[in-house]
Chain A
Amino acid sequence: MTWTVVVQAFGLVFDPYVLGVILASALFGLFVGCIPGLTATMATALLVPITFFMPPVPAIAAIVTATAMAIFSGDIPGALLRIPGTPASAAYTDEAYAMTKKGQAEVALGAGLVFSALGGLFGTFVMILSAPSLAEIALKFSSFEYFWLVVMGLAGAVFIGSASILKATMSLLLGLLIACVGNDNPAAHPRFTFGITELAGGVSLIPMMVGMFAVSELLRFMVNMDPPPVIATERIGNVFRGMWELTKQYKWPLVRGSALGTIIGIQPGSGADMASWMSYAMSKRFSKEPEKFGTGHVEGIIESGAANNSSLAGAWIPAIVFGIPGDSITAIAIGVLYLKNLNPGPTIFTNQPQAVYAIFLVFILANIIMVPLGWLAIKAAKNVLRAPRNILMPVILLFCVVGSFAINNTVFGVALILAFGLIAFFLEENGFPVAPAILGVVLGGMMEENFVTSMIKSDGNPGAFFTRPIAGGLAAATILIVFWPLFGWAWRRLRAA
């Protein structure tokens, strides 16, 4: 790392415009995370049309900051309403609510805030330490290795943490087919365009994401029949009291949660939700007092609160180094990077190192300002939670309309958000997860390009995918991931017999 690059990165981030963007997106993220029914992914999808008009660094800064804030502030309605603000808080919502019932709302929220920030910083430092050296390895990769890397990423998205592997696979394949639409293929032949000129360039990524993550959520709000929630407490004390003692008492759960969260973040396709569920389970498993879990015990909140925020940074490691998103948020962010001609991949470290260091700095900054801003958000929570959603949701819909129009300046974008909103809504109602489809669309182009290049290089001999040493190793790892559930199933069958 040369110091001039770091100085340049500081210059890029500590610019009044960029700092303004960070502050605004932080407040936006806190607000969206706090409103049940609006997720961190939706916050990103809503931001993207605006970031489309920004230079690369503030665009990425906006996404990073808003998601980090939204993942924390999802804890607030969890503790006060027993409804997680974002799915990443769902694992410990009952725990936090039980603490509120015992009159410890400030401890639950304080732990959520402080340990979210610490977990986020942990993940950031892992990213800073590992990304450059991984990039050096990645520079040696050819199309064969990239093909396997993409397949491995997609396999991970499907096989880790899906309720139904078959349905997740089908969702992924659907995404890959959507990526085929358009003229961008070996012979520039118009594929699946139905004669629509707007489809010649492929399905526009941003309207598609706005449809799948924002419009589908709005549709779900419209059909939600649950009664309106009730705020459990009006009084929240000093959220920072006792946090230092908790840090000392639970330093190992904190480290364990942060480490697990980072690893789950790195693993493509599994993000903050998974990190939080898994580390909550792990916390209970290793706790000295597992019987207290579920009755309003802070230990699980510390561990999984740190995990879900550290996974955000973890997800950026494969995103920057290989251009393979670690979760649906980085999938959107990668789409933005491509639009900005800041193509992620190992060469970004040699071509635009200052941009990479700027992303690192934004992560550090976002996790630091999370503490004072999060404190403000908790103070304002009572009012934010009363925000009339029957006014908010229509305004968000109009925002989606304008945002999707703005990308190509045609109403075709609006037609896309309608189509993909409905597709995502029905897929989810029938138990098909949506995230694999997004990963498929983002990675489809890269996968086809590396597949076709490799096939041409090897004169059509598929054996070449296995004979290069690194490619062979990656192939073995991929096959292991793909067949792991099968091994597990066979093993259980054998033991049962």
Chain B
Amino acid sequence: MKLDDAVTGAIFLALSLAVLWDIQGYPKIPGQNVGPSAFPGLIAAILAGCSIALMLRGLRARGAGAGPWMELLPWTRSPRHLFLFLLTAAVLLFYVLLADVLGFLVCGPLMLAAMMLSLRVRMPVAIAVAIVATVVIHLIFYKGLRVPLPWGLLPVLY
């Protein structure tokens, strides 16, 4: 997704205004003139200036006959590539939401198999790699580095 400079500028301007609004409520340090709001305020003010400059630049380019406000890059029109992009994000979201319930050893193979099958890896290879890779990564991090990866549904096996 490629946005016009005027649009990205507006997004950044909104962000900097939100920051400037938020820091109004920050506490002052008694007897000092710089507190927790000084630095973010300074940065947000500069960012607001830059955002306005980018918006003006975008609008000036539009005056000279620029493209649409939002341009969809070729991959977004290819259903397969759009799907792969969304799948990658979905797989991560899946882990965030369900890892603690299902456990790493359940989530891992599902995530890997979903991605590999979508990338057209043959079914037996995809399933074998999904299981082996998950177990190897689990051994490295859980046994080797003592990272408490969640067990979830499964009993603690080792």
Residues of A at the B interface (CB closer than 8 Å) are: 50, 53, 166-167, 169-170, 173-174, 176-177, 180, 185-189, 191-192, 215, 218-219, 222-225, 388, 390-391, 393-395, 397-399, 401-402, 405-406, 409, 411, 414-415, 417-418, 421-422, 426, 429-430, 432, 447-448, 451-452, 455-456, 459-460
Contact = CB atoms under 8 A, between A and B. Distances in A.
7 contacts: A173-B46, A173-B50, A187-B26, A192-B40, A398-B108, A402-B137, A429-B73
A414 B1 contact: no
Interface in B22-41: 22-23, 26-27, 29, 32-36, 38-40
B24 to A, nearest CB: 12
Nearest to B125: A391
A394 B111 CA distance: 8
Given A180-B43, A186-B35, A394-B119, A406 B29 contact: no
A404 B96 CA distance: 11
Nearest to A415: B96
B96 A167 contact: no
Contact of A223 (B39, B43, B81, B148): B81
B112 A394 contact: yes
Given A186-B29, A186-B36, A391 B121 contact: yes
A394 to B, nearest CB: 4
B2 interface: yes
A402 B26 contact: no
A170 B112 contact: no
Given A186-B32, A192-B22, 14 more contacts: A170-B51, A173-B50, A177-B40, A180-B39, A215-B92, A218-B88, A222-B81, A223-B73, A391-B125, A395-B133, A405-B149, A414-B96, A421-B89, A430-B3
A413 B8 CA distance: 27
Nearest to A399: B137
A218 B115 CA distance: 12
Contacts of B38: 186, 451-452, 455
The 8 closest A-B pairs by CB, nearest first: A390-B119, A394-B115, A223-B75, A222-B84, A460-B33, A418-B92, A173-B47, A448-B39
A406 B142 CA distance: 9
Contacts of A174: 12, 15, 47
Contacts of B81: 222-225
Q: Is the interface of A mostly helix, strand, loop or mixed?
A: helix
A411 B100 CA distance: 8
A448 B43 CA distance: 10
Contacts of A188: 36
A82 B75 CA distance: 23
B147 interface: yes
A225 B81 CA distance: 8
Nearest to A50: B145
A296 B78 CA distance: 37
A189 B8 contact: no
A189 B26 contact: yes
Contacts of B57: 166
A145 to B, nearest CB: 18
B10 to A, nearest CB: 12
Contacts of B137: 395, 398-399, 402
B129 A222 contact: no
B51 A395 contact: no
Of A166, A398, A448, most buried by chain B (CB within 10 Å of CB) is A398
Contacts of B44: 177
B53 interface: yes
B112 A225 contact: no
Contact of A395 (B46, B93, B129): B129
Interface string B86-97: 011101110110
Contact of B43 (A176, A415, A459): A176
Contacts of B100: 411
Contacts of A215: 88, 92
A230 B133 CA distance: 28
A186 B33 CA distance: 11
B33 A390 contact: no
Q: Which of B53, B84, B92, B145 has the most CB of A within 10 A?
A: B92
